[in-house]
Amino acid sequence: MYTRVNQRNLTSSQRARFVKAVIALKRSGSYDKYVRLHAEYFAADGESGLRMAHMAPTFFPWHRQFLLVFERELQTIDPQVTLPYWDWTTDNQPTSALWAADFMGGNGRDSDGQVMTGPFAYQAGAWPITYGVTDEKYLTRNLGRPDRPIVLPTEAELSDALEIATYDTDPWNSAPDTEGFRNEIEGWTVSESMGGYLHNRVHQWVGGHMVGAASPNDPIFWLHHAFIDLIWVRWQRLHPKSAYLPAQPLAADDPEHGRVVSLNEPMPPFAVKPSAVLDHRQFYTYEEG
């Protein structure tokens, strides 16, 4: 049992240890397998086959397990390290200390989007991109997407989504009429100009690698998803009578049969069922505020 904290409350020593562990994982070659895994399990709902990480009810439990495996590997390097979370409703500016040179590093430069400051800048020597959408070897960002500006989701937008009492609904996909907490948070239901909704818009706002298939190339990925995970915790607290859905495997004549994982079916590539990770308190707690 350990505690995940808001990144804004980390001490400078904790910031340094987190960065050091992440870079050690990168140097060992292990980090990039998480980048690949995330890309491989991004299946879209307009195609056939099982959907796991996105556009599906397993969005929350799959990412919880994904973060847990990553966090445990970080802890083999430094047992004191846990994943911090980024509350983007509060630390919502490119000037936030989150992006300082002793932590995530700053924005990409104008000419090519290359991050030039901090431990993950290419020139710092510790963060070559080996698995990316393009052949560029440096981390890129485009905070706020200035050519078509977007803003991070607000507290009010998040609160509205948290009001939704139903976890997810048939047909369990990303369609605008698939109502429910999961699809609202994932963020497929709003137009292009806003840059998507909650989770998706944060990816868009960071820009660079965070908008593509290889988004975990940017370490901010973990802090973003730790907050998404905390949002699930908050929703469970608000709706104690609501549960993960679908509870049962879908019937053979359901068009989504074989495409969606129900409560007690395993989530590839992990041999873990959603039911096994519903309660985060068996693994960690969140220090909120």
Partner 1 sequence: MTRRRMIRSGVTAVAAVSGTAAALRPMLTTGQQRANVAPDGAGADGAPQAPLAPGAVPALFDEVYRGRRIQGFPDAGAEGVAIKVDGKPLQVMRRVDGSWISVANHYQPYTTPLATARAAVDVIGRAELSMTTEHHH
Lookup: tokens for 23: 């870079």
Piece of 23-31, 118-126, 185-193, 218-226 that binds partner 1 (CB under 8 A):
185-193
- C-alpha–C-alpha distance, residues 179 and 80, integer Å: 40
Which of 173, 183, 217, 262 is the binder for partner 1 (CB under 8 A)?
173
50 binds partner 1, rule: CB under 8 A: yes
What b/e string do you get for 1-28 counting C-beta neighbours within 10 Å, with b at 16 or more? eeebbbbeebeeebbebbbbbbbbbbee
Neighbours of 194 (CB within 10 A): 14
H or E element in which residue 162 lies: helix 155-162
Q: What's the min distance (Å) between Cβ of 52 and partner 1?
A: 8
- What radius of gyration, in Å, describes the C-alpha atoms of the chain? 18
Which of 46, 149, 240, 289 is the binder for partner 1 (CB under 8 A)?
46
Lookup: tokens for 257: 């049969």
Q: What's the min distance (Å) between Cβ of 272 and partner 1?
A: 16
Q: What's the min distance (Å) between Cβ of 135 and partner 1?
A: 4
Binding-site size, partner 1 (CB under 8 A): 55
Which of 30, 42, 91, 242 is the binder for partner 1 (CB under 8 A)?
42
Which of 121, 129, 158, 226 is the binder for partner 1 (CB under 8 A)?
129
Q: What's the min distance (Å) between Cβ of 259 and partner 1?
A: 9
Nearest to 103 by CA among 19, 169, 186, 170: 19
135 binds partner 1, rule: CB under 8 A: yes
Tell me whether residue 78 or residue 254 sits nearer to partner 1 (CB atom): 254
Q: What's the min distance (Å) between Cβ of 6 and partner 1?
A: 24
Q: What's the min distance (Å) between Cβ of 102 and partner 1?
A: 24
29 binds partner 1, rule: CB under 8 A: no
CB 43 within 8 Å of CB 54: yes
Question: Which long-range contacts (C-beta less than 8 Å, at least 24 apart) are formed by 195-204?
Answer: 195/145, 195/148, 195/150, 197/153, 197/157, 198/153, 198/157, 198/158, 198/161, 199/224, 199/228, 201/150, 201/152, 201/153, 202/88, 202/152, 202/153, 204/145, 204/150
176 binds partner 1, rule: CB under 8 A: yes
104 binds partner 1, rule: CB under 8 A: no
User: What DSSP character marks residue 13?
Assistant: H
Query: CB neighbours of 37 closer than 8 A, spacing ≥ 6?
Result: 66, 269
Tell me whether residue 4 or residue 54 sits nearer to partner 1 (CB atom): 54
Residues from 212 through 251 that contact partner 1 (CB under 8 A): 212-215
Piece of 9-17, 153-161, 208-216, 236-244 that binds partner 1 (CB under 8 A):
208-216
* CA atoms within a 13 Å half-sphere pointing along the CA-CB vector of 260: 27
**Distances in Å between the alpha carbon of 209 and those of 134, 141, 222?**
10, 7, 13
Which of 36, 234, 239, 280 is the binder for partner 1 (CB under 8 A)?
36
55 binds partner 1, rule: CB under 8 A: yes
Instruction: Give the binding site for partner 1 (CB under 8 A).
Output: 36, 39-40, 42-51, 55, 108, 110-114, 129-137, 140, 142, 147, 171, 173-176, 187-188, 192, 195-196, 199-201, 203-204, 207-208, 211-215, 268
